[in-house]
C-alpha cells in the first residue's frame, strides 16, 4: 500500500524533523536525490536548466545544481524572484560555477524548482512564461509547479513533469495528478508522520485481500451474493452485474428481478428468481443498475436495505435515495452501505456538484450518509465515514463505457458477501475493474462485457505478484 500525506501533516512532520537535524542537512539530502535522478535522466548529456522560485523548493533546485556542477554538468539557473532566491543554495551554486541568466538556454533537462509544498493556485505569469518555452523533459522538485499539492487540481498554467522527485513521503498530488514517474527520496521523515491521509492499493494488497477458497470451503461458506438489478427495459445491466459477481469470487450468486430469463441464459450457474422475496439468503446485496426508479424498484430497495446484510447501492438505487430521502432514512442505520455514484449521481444525491476537490467531495458524502462512498472516474475515490480514503488511478480511460459501472457494482457485492471490509472491498474492486479494462482493451475500445470477461485475467495478474 502506498500512503500519501497532506501538506499540513508533512509540514508539521518536517518542523519536528528540522528541530533535531543540523541546519541545511535535510535540503542537501533532498537535493542530492534530485541531482542523482537528473544524472540518470541525462544519460550522459550535460546541459541542465533550473527554474528557481522564491522558497525552499527553489533552494532544492539550486543545491541540485550545485551537485550537478560537481559532476561536470553545465547548469544555468533562472531566478524568478532574484532577491528572495534561497541564499545558501544560490551561494553554493555560484561557488560551484553555476550560471545565472534571465532566460533558459537550450538544455537537455529542466529542473522545476518554481514552487513546492507552499504552492497556491496556478503558475504565476512570470513562471508560466518561462515554462511555456520549455521543450526539454522536466524533472519536478517535490511536485509539478502550478498543481495543487493537496488536491491535484490545476486552474491554469502548470508544469508537465516527465519525472518528479519527492521527499520524505508522497503527497496527495502524486496520487491525484499526473506527475510523471514519481521517485521518493528518504529524508528520515517517516517516524514523524501520522497515518496517511490517502492510500493507494498495490497489486499485492489486492491479492492479499481477495477471497480465495480454502480446502474446507463450500459454495455457501464463501458468502452468497445477491444481485437486484436490471428490468424488462434494461436486462443487460442484470447480466453484467451478475456476471461480474460470478467471475469475481467463487461461491454462489443469486439473481432476483425481471431479467431472470436473460441472466439464466447467460449465467447458468446463477440461481435466478423473478421476485426479490423469493431470492433466498445472501450475505450481501448489490442493488441498482438498470433497476428503474418506480414503485416496484423502491420496494426492492427497501427489501435489500432491510435484509441485515451489507449493500452496494449503485445507479438507480442512488437516484431513488436522492428522489426519496425517506428510503434512506428508513433503513436500519447499522446496515453497511457502499454507494457508488458517478458525478451526476453524486450531484443528485448531495444536491451539489462534485467540484474540483474530488477527495473532499467523497469525504463529505461518506460522512453525511455514514456510508462508504465510491466516486467513479478515471481516478476513483473511496471514502469511508471514519475519514479513511483510498484512491485508484486507472491507467487508461477505456473503462469509460456503458455498462462498466454495472460490472463494478457486481464485483463490490461479491467482495462484501465474502466478508471483505467495505472500504477495502470497494477499493479492491476498483483496482481489479480498472486492470480488467486495461487488459481487455489492449489499445482499442471495449464493450463492458469484454471488461467483465477480463476479470479472471485481472485477478490472476494481481495474484501473480504474491509468492
Ligand atoms: N522544510 C523542509 O525541511 C524541507 C523542504 N523542502 C522543500 O521545501 C519546499 C517548500 O518550501 P517553502 O515552504 O519555502 O515554499 P515553496 O518553495 O513551495 O514556495 C515558495 C514561494 O513560491 C511562491 N508561490 C506560491 N504559489 C506559486 C505559484 N502558483 N506560482 C509561482 N510561485 C508561487 C510563493 O511566494 C511561495 O512563498 C518543499 O516543496 C521542498 O521542495 C526540501 O528541501 C526538504 C526539506
Ligand atoms: N475516464 C475514465 N477513465 C477510466 N475509468 C473510467 C472513466 N470514466 C469512468 N470510468 C469508470 O467506468 C465505470 C463507469 O460507470 P458508470 O458511469 O456507472 O457507467 P454505467 O452506468 O454505464 O455502467 C466506473 O467504474 C468508472 O470508474
Ligand atoms: K516544483
Shortest-distance Cα residue to atom 22 of ligand 2 = 402
254 and 224 Cβ atoms separated by less than 8 Å: yes
Q: How far is the CA of 145 from the centre of ligand 1 (A)?
A: 10
Give the phi and the psi of residue 32 in degrees, each rounded to 5.
-65, -40
pLDDT digits (tens, 9 = 90+) for 208-248: 999 999 999 999 999 999 999 999 999 999 999 999 999 99
Of 351, 383, 357, give the one whose Cα is nearest residue 370. Answer: 383
Number of CB atoms found within 10 A of residue 32's CB = 15
* Rounded CA separation 365/369 (Å): 6
14, 57, 87, best to mutate for ligand 1 pocket (most atoms within 8 Å of CB): 57
Q: Is the CB of 394 under 6 A from ligand 2?
A: yes
Condensed to tens digits (0 to 9), the pLDDT of residues 388-411 reads 999 999 989 999 999 999 999 999
Least confident of 85-89, 112-116, 153-157, 462-466: 462-466
Q: What percent of the chain has pLDDT over 70?
A: 100
Extended strands (E) in 85-239: 99-101, 109-113, 138-141, 163-167, 181-185, 198-200, 224-228
Distances (CA, A) of 256 to 179, 224, 240, 248, 416: 45, 13, 14, 19, 18
Locate 327 and state its grid cell. 428510503
Mean pLDDT of the chain: 97
Q: What are phi and psi of 190, to 5 degrees?
A: -50, -45
Q: Which atom of ligand 1 is closest in space to residue 120's alpha carbon?
A: 26
Among candidate residues 149, 88, 79, 159, the one with its CA nearest the CA of residue 120: 149
Closest CA to 346 of 335, 331, 329, 360: 360
Judged against a pLDDT cut of 70, whether residue 340 lies above it is answered with yes
Ligand 2 atom index nearest CA of 433? 25
Digit-coded pLDDT (tens) for 5-43: 999 999 999 999 999 999 999 999 999 999 999 999 999
Helix residue ranges per DSSP H, 72-138: 87-95, 125-132
Contact between 141 and 61 (Cβ < 8 Å): yes
CB 159 within 8 A of CB 131: yes
From CA 175, how far away is CA 195, in angstroms rounded?
16
Architecture of the domain delimited by 203-463: 3-Layer(aba) Sandwich (3.40)
The CATH 3.40.50.10260 portion of the chain extends over: 2-195
Which CATH class for the 2-195 domain?
alpha beta
* ipTM score assigned to the predicted complex: 0.92
In the reported structure, the alpha carbon of residue 433 is separated from the centroid of ligand 2 by a whole-number distance in angstroms of 10
Distance CA(172)–CA(13), nearest Å, equals 16
Minimum-distance ligand to the CA of 411?
Answer: 2
**Is the CB of residue 354 less than 8 Å from the CB of residue 373?**
no
**Ligand number, closest to the Cα atom of 20:** 1
CA angle 235, 238, 242 (to 5 degrees): 150
Other C-beta atoms closer than 10 Å to the C-beta of 272 total: 22
pLDDT tens across 178-201, in order?
999 999 999 999 999 999 999 999
270: nearest Cα among 312, 302, 241, 307: 241
CA of 426 to the centre of ligand 2 (A): 14
Q: How is residue 217 written as a grid cell?
A: 470451503
Residue of the CA atom closest to atom 25 of ligand 2: 405
Measured from the alpha carbon of residue 341, the closest ligand is 2
Ligand 1 contacts CB of residue 64 (under 6 A): no
Averaged over 302-311, what is the pLDDT? 96
User: Which three three-digit cell numbers place residue 132?
Assistant: 511555456
The alpha helices in 200-284, defined as continuous H runs, are 203-209, 235-248, 260-266
- Residue 378 Cα to ligand 1 midpoint, Å, equals 29
> 466: pLDDT confidence band, cut at 50, 70 and 90?
low
* Integer angstrom CA distances of residue 314 from 277, 297, 320: 20, 13, 10
Instruction: Check residue 129 and give its pLDDT.
Output: 98
Start-to-end CA distance of the chain, whole Å, equals 17
Q: What is the pLDDT of residue 465?
A: 78
> Which residues carry a binding-site annotation for AMP?
376-380, 405
**Whole-number CA gyration radius for the chain:** 26
Cell numbers linked to 264: 439464466
Asked whether residue 467 carries a pLDDT value surpassing 70, the answer given is: no
Query: What does pTM read for this prediction?
Result: 0.94
CA distance 185 to 168: 6
Cα separation of 237 and 118, whole Å?
Answer: 46
Q: What is the pLDDT of residues 69-110, one digit of tens each?
A: 999 999 999 999 999 999 999 999 999 999 999 999 999 999
> What is the C-alpha to C-alpha distance for residues 339 and 206, in angstroms, rounded to an integer?
20
CATH 3.40.1190.20 spans which residues of the chain? 203-463
Q: Whose CA is nearest to atom 18 of ligand 2?
A: 405
Instruction: Pull the grid cell for residue 137.
Output: 523533459
Instruction: Please tell me what DSSP assigns to residue 308.
Output: S
User: Angle of helix 235-248 relative to helix 455-463, nearest 10 degrees?
Assistant: 30
Amino acid at each position: 500500500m502506498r500512503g500519501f500525506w497532506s501538506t499540513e501533516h508533512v509540514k508539521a512532520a518536517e518542523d519536528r524533523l528540522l528541530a533535531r537535524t543540523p541546519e541545511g542537512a535535510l535540503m542537501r539530502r533532498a537535493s542530492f536525490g534530485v541531482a542523482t535522478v537528473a544524472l540518470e535522466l541525462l544519460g550522459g548529456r550535460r546541459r541542465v536548466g533550473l527554474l528557481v522560485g522564491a522558497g525552499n523548493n527553489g533552494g532544492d533546485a539550486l543545491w541540485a545544481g550545485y551537485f550537478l556542477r560537481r559532476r561536470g554538468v553545465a547548469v544555468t539557473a533562472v531566478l524568478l524572484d532574484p532577491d528572495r532566491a534561497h541564499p545558501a543554495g544560490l551561494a553554493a551554486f555560484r561557488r560551484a560555477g553555476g550560471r545565472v541568466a534571465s532566460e533558459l538556454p537550450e538544455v537537455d533537462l529542466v529542473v522545476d524548482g518554481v514552487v513546492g509544498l507552499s504552492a497556491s493556485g496556478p503558475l504565476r505569469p512570470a513562471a508560466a512564461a518561462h515554462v511555456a518555452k520549455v521543450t526539454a523533459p522536466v524533472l519536478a522538485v517535490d511536485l509539478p509547479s502550478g498543481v495543487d499539492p493537496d488536491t491535484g487540481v490545476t486552474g491554469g498554467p502548470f508544469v508537465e513533469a516527465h519525472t518528479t522527485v519527492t521527499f520524505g513521503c508522497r503527497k496527495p498530488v502524486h496520487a491525484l495528478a499526473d506527475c510523471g514517474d514519481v521517485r521518493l527520496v528518504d529524508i528520515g521523515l517517516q517516524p514523524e508522520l501520522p497515518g496517511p491521509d490517502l492510500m493507494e492499493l498495490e497489486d499485492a494488497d489486492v491479492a492479499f485481500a481477495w477471497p480465495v477458497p480454502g480446502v474446507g470451503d463450500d459454495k455457501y461458506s464463501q458468502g452468497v451474493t445477491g444481485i437486484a438489478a436490471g428490468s424488462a427495459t434494461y436486462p443487460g445491466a442484470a447480466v453484467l452485474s451478475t456476471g461480474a459477481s460470478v467471475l469475481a469470487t467463487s461461491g454462489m450468486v443469486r439473481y432476483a428481478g425481471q431479467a431472470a430469463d436473460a441472466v439464466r441464459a447467460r449465467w447458468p450457474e446463477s440461481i435466478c428468481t423473478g421476485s426479490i422475496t423469493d431470492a433466498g439468503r445472501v450475505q450481501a446485496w448489490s442493488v441498482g443498475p438498470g433497476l428503474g426508479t418506480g414503485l416496484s424498484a423502491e420496494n426492492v430497495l427497501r427489501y435489500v436495505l432491510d435484509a441485515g446484510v451489507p449493500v452496494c447501492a449503485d445507479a438507480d438505487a442512488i437516484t431513488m435515495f436522492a428522489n426519496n430521502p425517506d428510503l434512506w432514512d428508513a433503513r436500519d442505520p447499522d446496515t453497511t452501505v457502499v454507494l457508488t455514484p458517478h458525478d451526476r449521481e453524486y450531484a443528485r444525491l448531495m444536491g451539489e456538484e462534485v467540484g474540483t476537490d474530488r477527495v473532499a467531495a467523497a469525504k463529505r458524502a461518506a460522512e453525511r450518509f455514514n456510508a462508504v462512498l465510491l466516486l467513479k472516474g478515471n481516478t476513483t475515490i473511496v471514502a469511508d465515514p471514519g475519514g479513511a480514503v483510498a484512491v485508484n488511478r486507472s491507467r487508461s480511460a477505456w473503462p469509460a463505457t456503458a455498462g462498466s459501472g454495472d460490472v463494478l457494482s457486481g464485483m463490490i457485492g461479491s467482495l462484501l458477501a465474502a466478508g471483505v471490509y467495505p472500504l477495502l472491498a470497494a477499493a479492491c474492486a476498483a483496482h481489479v475493474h480498472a486492470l480488467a479494462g486495461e487488459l481487455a482493451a489492449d489499445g482499442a475500445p471495449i464493450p463492458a462485457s469484454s471488461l467483465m470477461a477480463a476479470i479472471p485475467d485481472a485477478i490472476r495478474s494481481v495474484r501473480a505478484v504474491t509468492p
